[in-house]
A and B are shown apart, each in its own frame.
Chain A
Amino acid sequence: MNPVTADAFQLGDLADATKYHSPIEIAGRSPDQLQRWLRKLIEIRCAEEKIGEEFGKAVIKCPCHLVIGQEAPAVGIAEHIRQGDRVFGAHRSHAHFLSLGGTMDQLMAEVLGKETGCSNGMGGSMHLLDRANNFFGSVPIVGATIPIATGAGLAAKMEGAGGIAVSYLGDGATEEGVFHESLNFASVMKLPVIYVVENNLFSSHLHISLRQPFDSICRFALAHGVQWQRVDGNDIVAMADVASDAIQAARQGAGPQLIEAVTYRWRGHVGHREDNDVGVMRKEGLVEWKKRDPIRRLVDAMIASRHITKTMADSIWTEARDAVASSWERADLAPYPAPSALLDRVFFKEENA
């Protein structure tokens, strides 16, 4: 268990937008793994840019919460997920879905409400599902999947096969009572649940300093007897390392774990705009935060270490944009759910599964 220290209360330097701009530390890492992470981060970034663009044109109407700027936590966690694990997202979950193996085709079709989407066009951006790849669902009621993931942890414990559950949440969700109920429950029952708090300092338009007396979520883990780690959420290598530690501990019966990934979103709470004009305490931070770009810091490190060249990096971007564009074209041509879906899917039927 972590010692009781004031460190659990304050983010310190990690909250300082002028810091952590340098290339990340990649010494000793496998070039293949780094390149795989880079491709995934860029794929997510390109998907979000496309969705933002179409949202801006009102081609996509459903609320879309873009993850641009905070792609790394999902990719770091996904690295250590295996068959039998169950991962739950929230309102900002495109990266969670894609990082676990959800396809671009299914994401683009879903945000357009098409039958070929991951939720058969019944969910839109805020309700993503891909059980074959361990993604058990995302919903936008803040905090709702925290106890649900905790229940998946209880099921995993009952199964006794070393499976774990992951609950993705934001700093705002820690203001919901159910977050505390769930951590307490998981701690008392010693459940294999990883609570991944993507602390991007904002809930909707409000900075954390206007919502909480301290800016670090780790203090709640401390209070509930949950092991915690804090990490630069814009450093994919560090992120994957803490994910490995936490997930391995949970698999081995050490009980629930909380990871606080400190990051920042570049767009507004919802939609494609950067929201400089409506966010409280936002404009001054965004310019600096963009210098902590998780992709650029990885690219710079890989070029400096001669893992890739600038040309190779450029071609990864081009390939990703092309893939997104062709997925978009297929989604655009796909059919909407049949009118019968409205009533046919209220209750579960084997033939719909």
Chain B
Amino acid sequence: MTSYGHALREGFAYLLRNYPETFTIGQGLWSPWYVGNSMTDLDKEFGKGRVIDTPVSELATTGVAVGAALSGRRPIVIHPRVDFALLAVDQVVNQAAKWCHMFGGKVAVPVVVRAIINRGGEQGAQHSQALHSWFAHVPGLRVVMPSTPADARDLLIAASLGNDPVVFIDDRWLYELEAELPPVNPSLRLTNVRPRVDRIGTDITLAGCSHSAQLCRQAAEVLEKLGVSAEVVDLRLINPFDASPVIDSVRKTGRLLAVDGDWSTCGMAAEVIASVVESLPPGAFRSSPCRLTLPDAPAPTSKPLEKAYYFNAADITSKVLEIVSRL
């Protein structure tokens, strides 16, 4: 069994071992604690020339990676907290996402911007944000939200070996999740990745990504014991977003709960619901689609407030029971 954190490390090691044009760069890469267990000792194994720790300069570091990607390298930039990646937004949104299009389709930008959601642990408003829907809003970026150890490893590899800029966001709350890993498929590319139905069900569709997808899977197990059959769709890649697996699922179940560990307004849950509602006739729904998201407030630090802020699998279960009991 391999944990999500170790699976990420396997992904990095696979890339660094087999593709000399790959390298990683970011703050804390020579430190044991910035990125959990996801990059332990990579600098010792592959050298400090390819596992580069940097000055406290998120914007320049990300720009350096974009420039290296334009020059034939395959860099992966690490932002140990999503919040700090915001200092680099010009390079991600104005530059990496735009260069292919505005230069006539002639420019590949194979850079991965990896950022970590560090929710909980009383870390507060500036160490906990997800913000994946911000990045998913931008044409030209591929946005990856892995929820399983296999996806953590394999989508990281696919992200780095593609030709487009990728925002890859992983969640510290998944790092201990374990699974058996299949051999790496070196030909996997993000162009072939779409949302995946993780569990078949008939009464309701639960759709989410990253840690929310894991909570949906846990809730579905509990619901089964309560006599409710939930289908779970793990979104995995939220830009470009292929909603068809969710649409197909809701066509069958007639009910939808979009779950997202981020805020509601203009968020991913809203995108999921809008995509489904646009594609199915009103008669296809047995109840109105719903969403479960974080409250519209910055993350608190105080323990009881934090408990109220984050939802868990039991909250999903309660919400589903409320939905299926509606007439």
Contact = CB atoms under 8 A, between A and B. Distances in A.
A341 B63 contact: no
A146 B63 contact: yes
B108 to A, nearest CB: 4
B95 A141 contact: yes
B194 to A, nearest CB: 15
B44 interface: no
B139 to A, nearest CB: 5
Contacts of A185: 54-55, 57, 60-61, 64
B66 A158 contact: no
B59 A178 contact: yes
A177 B59 contact: yes
Given A154-B64, A181-B59, A182-B60, A144 B90 contact: yes
Given A178-B59, A181-B60, A348-B109, A152 B103 contact: no
B163 A148 contact: no
Interface string B90-109: 11001100011111111111
Given A123-B102, A136-B70, A137-B103, A353 B64 contact: no
A153 B57 CA distance: 17
Contacts of B62: 147
Interface residues of A, number: 47
Interface in B75-122: 75, 90-91, 94-95, 99-109
Interface string A106-123: 000000000001111111
Q: Interface centre among A120, A155, A352, by most B CB within 10 Å?
A: A155
Nearest to A189: B52
Contacts of B70: 86, 136-137, 148, 151-152
B102 A147 contact: no
B67 interface: yes
A62 B60 CA distance: 29
A156 interface: yes
Nearest to B72: A155
B67 A152 contact: yes
A223 interface: no
A139 interface: yes
B60 A129 contact: no
B107 A129 contact: yes
Interface string A203-224: 0000000000000000000000
Interface residues of B, number: 41
Contact of B67 (A117, A129, A151): A151
Interface string A121-139: 1110001010100001101
B71 interface: yes
B106 A352 contact: yes
B274 to A, nearest CB: 20
B67 A348 contact: no
Nearest to B101: A345
Given A147-B63, A347-B100, A152 B164 contact: no
A341 B103 CA distance: 11
B73 interface: yes
A148 B63 contact: yes
A188 interface: yes
A324 interface: no
Contact of B95 (A144, A152, A154, A353): A144
Interface in A327-343: 337, 341
Nearest to A341: B105
Nearest to A157: B49
A144 B71 CA distance: 16
Contacts, number: 154
A16 interface: no
Contact of B71 (A146, A155, A349): A155
A117 B103 CA distance: 10
B73 A158 contact: yes
B65 interface: yes
Nearest to B69: A151
A137 B139 CA distance: 20
Interface in B247-281: none
B87 to A, nearest CB: 9
A147 B164 CA distance: 19
A303 to B, nearest CB: 42
Nearest to B66: A148
A119 B55 contact: no
B68 interface: yes
B289 interface: no
B66 A151 contact: yes
Given A86-B71, A150-B60, A348-B164, A139 B95 contact: yes
B140 interface: yes
Given A150-B60, A152-B67, A185-B61, A144 B91 contact: yes
B107 A178 contact: no
Nearest to A142: B90
B106 A141 contact: no
Contacts of B90: 141, 144, 178
A149 interface: yes
Contacts of A117: 104
Interface string B206-249: 00000000000000000000000000000000000000000000
Nearest to A146: B63
27 contacts: A119-B102, A119-B104, A120-B105, A121-B104, A122-B101, A122-B105, A127-B102, A131-B106, A137-B70, A137-B107, A141-B95, A148-B95, A149-B67, A150-B67, A151-B69, A151-B70, A154-B68, A155-B68, A155-B72, A178-B59, A178-B60, A178-B63, A184-B57, A185-B57, A341-B105, A346-B139, A348-B164
Interface of B: 23, 49, 54-55, 57, 59-73, 75, 90-91, 94-95, 99-109, 139-140, 142, 163-164
Interface of A: 86, 88, 117-123, 127, 129, 131, 136-137, 139, 141, 144, 146-156, 158, 165, 177-178, 181-182, 184-185, 188, 337, 341, 344-349, 352-353
